[in-house]
C-alpha cells in the first residue's frame, strides 16, 4: 500500500482531481466502475505523476496507505450511495471517505451519521470550479470532523486554488456544512449570473447598444469594483461572433436557461430555514420561466413598455446607473447568501467562519471576484457581522448607489424590460430599511379570518379582536 489518496469515479472531475493530486507529488490510486476509464487515464497521463491503477475495488483499497483516504467523484445521488455501500465493508475504523460530488447536504448528514457509527470518517466536500478548476486548483469546501480535516486538510489545501498565498480551502464545519455552503455558492452564482444578464438586457434594450459595445462596457466594469470571473466571461461571450451566421453569438442561442438543480435546492432549503434569499429565488424562477415556451407564447402579444428608449446623449449616464444598480443588487444577493449560511449554522450547530467562506471563494470557483476579499475583511474586522450593510464601506456604497438603482428599476418597468433580480434586490433593501411594514395588515387579516392573534406595538401580550361582535372588542389571550 503506497497511495496517499485514492480517487474512484474518473469522469472529467475525478480524472482532473486525480491529476491535480499527482501534480502535487501525491501517489494516487485511481479506480472507475468501468475500467476502460482507468486505463485511459493511465495511457494519457501516467507520465504526469505517480498513479496506481486499480481495476477492482479490492485492488483499490489494498493500494491505499492507512488510514485510507479515498475520494468519491461519481454522479451525485444513488451512485454515491452505491459506491459507499460497495466500499464500506472493505474499510476499517479511522479510514476516510471524501465525497467531492454535488451531494445534497441532507444526504451528506445521513451518510456521515451512518459511517460515523462504523468509525469511518465521511467528509462531504463541495468542489467548485468545474473541469478546469479540478485540474488547476478548485475552491474546496470540506465538511466532516475536525479530526478528519487535520489529516486531509493539508492535502486538499495543497491542490486548491491559492489567492495571495492563501489556499481556497478551509474546514467549513461538521457533517453536511461543506455541501451546504457549496449549495449556497451555487445559489449566489445563479443570482450573479441573472443580475449580469439583466444588466446586459437593459443596455441592449433601453440604450440600444450592440453586443460588441456591451462587451466593451463589461470589460471596463471588470477593471473596477465588479471585477470578477463572471463579468470577464460575459464580455467574451458578448464579443463572440457565431462563425456559421456572422451574427452575434448571443443572438443565435435559444433563450431558455437550463439548470442542474443546485439553485432549486438553495431556494427549497431557504424556505425551510426562513432565509429570505429573494434574489437567488428570482434568479432560479427566471430560469424556469424562460423555459416555459407555451406560457411565453400566450403572453407574447400583450402590450409592453410605455416610454421610448433612452436618448443617445443620455446613454453614458444610463450605463453608469446600471453599473450602480448591478453592484448594489449584487451586494444584496451575496448578503442574502451569507444570511442563509448563518441561519443554517444556527440550525445545524455548525461553527462556520463567515469570513473564511469569502476567503476560499476568492479563487478557483465560479463566483471568484475581487469583491470577496472585501467580504472577508468585513467579517474579519467584525466576527459578529449580521449583514454587509452593517459595515461602513458597503453601507456607504449602497447609499451612494440607491438613486441610480431606483432609476434603473423604474426605467426597466417603464420600458417593459424584465429585471426580476434587480427588482427583488431593491425590494429587499426597502423591506429591511422600512420603519413600518404592511406585515401589520397581514397580522390583522390573519386575526380576522383565522383568530391567529397579534402583538401590539404599545404593550406586551398576545391579542385577538372579536371581528364579528358589535364594537369589535379586543381580548388578551
Contact residues toward ligand NBP (CB under 6 A) are: 9-14, 32-34, 37, 73-76, 79, 82-83, 101-102, 127, 130-131
Question: Which is it for strands 463-465 and 474-476: parallel, antiparallel or unpaired?
Answer: antiparallel
Nearest Cα neighbor of 269 from 406, 109, 30 is 109
CB of 95 to ligand NBP, least distance (A): 18
Between 37 and 240, CB nearer to ligand NBP: 37
Between 102 and 174, CB nearer to ligand NBP: 102
* DSSP, residue by residue, 8-61: E--SHHHHHHHHHHHHTT-EEEEE-SSHHHHHHHHHHHGGGSEEEE-SSHHHHH
Please pick, among 40, 86, 132, 189, the residue that the annotation labels catalytic: 189
Q: Is 75 a catalytic residue?
A: no
Q: Which helix (H) or strand (E) holds 339?
A: helix 315-348
Q: Are 358 and 373 in contact (CB under 8 A)?
A: yes
Q: Is 182 a catalytic residue?
A: yes
Written as nine digits, the cell of 26 is: 501525491
Between 67 and 261, CB nearer to ligand NBP: 261
Please pick, among 182, 323, 330, 391, the residue that the annotation labels catalytic: 182
CB of 11 to ligand NBP, least distance (A): 3
Q: Are 23 and 48 in contact (CB under 8 A)?
A: yes
Q: Are 286 and 421 in contact (CB under 8 A)?
A: yes
Nearest Cα neighbor of 226 from 130, 331, 129 is 331
Residue nearest ligand NBP, Cβ-based: 101
CB of 43 to ligand NBP, least distance (A): 16
CB of 181 to ligand NBP, least distance (A): 13
Between 138 and 420, CB nearer to ligand NBP: 138
> For 213-235, what is the HEC assignment?
HHHHHHHHHCCCCCCEHHHHHHH
Between 33 and 204, CB nearer to ligand NBP: 33
Nearest Cα neighbor of 270 from 353, 207, 187 is 187
CB of 36 to ligand NBP, least distance (A): 8
CB of 78 to ligand NBP, least distance (A): 7
Written as nine digits, the cell of 302 is: 400583450
Between 12 and 432, CB nearer to ligand NBP: 12
Catalytic residues: 182, 189
Amino acid at each position: 500500500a503506497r497511495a496517499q489518496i485514492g480517487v474512484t469515479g474518473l469522469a472529467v472531475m475525478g480524472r482532473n482531481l486525480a491529476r491535480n493530486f499527482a501534480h502535487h507529488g501525491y501517489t494516487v490510486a485511481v479506480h472507475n466502475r468501468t475500467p476502460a476509464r482507468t486505463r485511459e487515464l493511465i495511457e494519457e497521463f501516467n507520465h504526469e505523476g505517480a498513479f496506481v491503477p486499480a481495476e477492482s475495488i479490492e485492488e483499490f483499497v489494498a493500494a491505499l496507505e492507512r488510514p485510507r483516504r479515498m475520494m468519491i467523484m461519481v454522479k451525485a445521488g444513488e451512485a454515491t450511495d452505491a459506491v459507499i455501500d460497495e466500499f464500506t465493508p472493505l474499510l476499517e475504523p479511522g479510514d476516510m471517505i471524501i465525497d467531492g460530488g454535488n451531494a445534497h447536504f441532507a444526504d451528506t448528514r445521513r451518510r456521515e451519521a451512518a459511517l460515523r457509527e462504523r468509525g469511518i470518517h465521511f467528509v462531504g466536500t463541495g468542489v467548485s470550479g468545474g473541469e478546469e478548476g479540478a485540474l488547476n486548483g478548485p475552491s474546496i469546501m470540506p465538511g466532516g470532523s475536525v479530526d478528519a480535516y487535520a489529516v486531509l486538510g493539508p492535502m486538499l489545501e495543497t491542490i486548491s486554488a491559492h489567492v495571495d498565498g492563501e489556499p481556497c480551502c478551509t474546514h467549513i464545519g461538521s457533517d453536511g456544512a461543506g455541501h451546504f455552503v457549496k449549495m449556497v455558492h451555487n445559489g449566489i452564482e445563479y443570482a450573479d449570473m441573472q443580475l449580469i444578464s439583466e444588466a446586459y438586457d437593459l443596455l441592449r434594450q433601453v440604450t440600444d447598444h450592440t453586443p460588441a459595445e456591451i462587451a466593451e462596457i463589461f470589460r471596463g466594469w471588470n477593471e473596477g469594483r465588479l471585477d470578477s470571473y463572471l463579468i470577464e466571461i460575459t464580455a467574451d461571450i458578448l464579443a463572440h461572433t457565431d462563425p456559421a451566421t456572422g451574427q452575434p453569438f448571443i443572438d443565435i442561442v435559444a433563450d431558455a436557461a437550463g439548470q442542474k438543480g443546485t439553485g432549486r435546492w438553495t431556494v427549497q432549503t431557504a424556505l425551510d430555514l426562513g432565509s429570505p434569499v429573494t434574489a437567488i429565488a428570482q434568479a432560479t424562477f427566471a430560469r424556469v420561466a424562460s423555459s416555459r415556451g407555451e406560457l411565453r407564447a400566450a403572453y407574447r402579444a400583450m402590450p409592453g413598455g410605455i416610454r421610448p428608449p433612452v436618448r443617445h446623449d443620455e446613454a453614458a449616464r444610463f450605463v453608469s446607473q446600471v453599473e450602480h444598480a448591478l453592484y448594489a443588487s449584487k451586494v444584496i444577493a451575496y448578503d442574502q447568501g451569507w444570511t442563509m449560511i448563518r441561519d443554517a449554522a444556527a440550525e445545524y450547530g455548525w461553527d462556520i467562519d463567515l469570513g473564511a467562506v469569502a476567503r476560499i471563494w476568492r479563487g478557483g470557483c465560479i463566483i471568484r471576484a475581487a469583491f470577496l476579499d472585501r467580504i472577508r475583511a468585513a467579517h474579519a474586522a467584525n466576527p459578529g457581522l449580521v449583514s454587509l450593510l452593517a459595515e461602513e464601506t458597503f453601507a456607504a456604497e449602497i447609499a451612494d448607489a440607491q438613486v441610480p438603482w431606483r432609476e434603473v428599476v423604474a426605467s426597466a418597468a417603464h420600458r417593459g424590460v424584465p429585471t426580476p433580480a434587480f427588482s427583488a434586490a431593491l425590494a429587499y433593501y426597502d423591506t429591511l430599511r422600512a420603519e413600518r411594514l404592511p406585515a401589520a395588515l397581514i397580522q390583522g387579516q390573519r386575526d380576522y379570518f383565522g383568530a391567529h392573534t397579534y402583538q401590539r406595538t404599545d404593550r406586551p401580550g398576545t391579542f385577538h379582536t372579536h371581528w364579528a361582535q358589535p364594537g369589535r372588542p379586543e381580548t388578551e389571550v
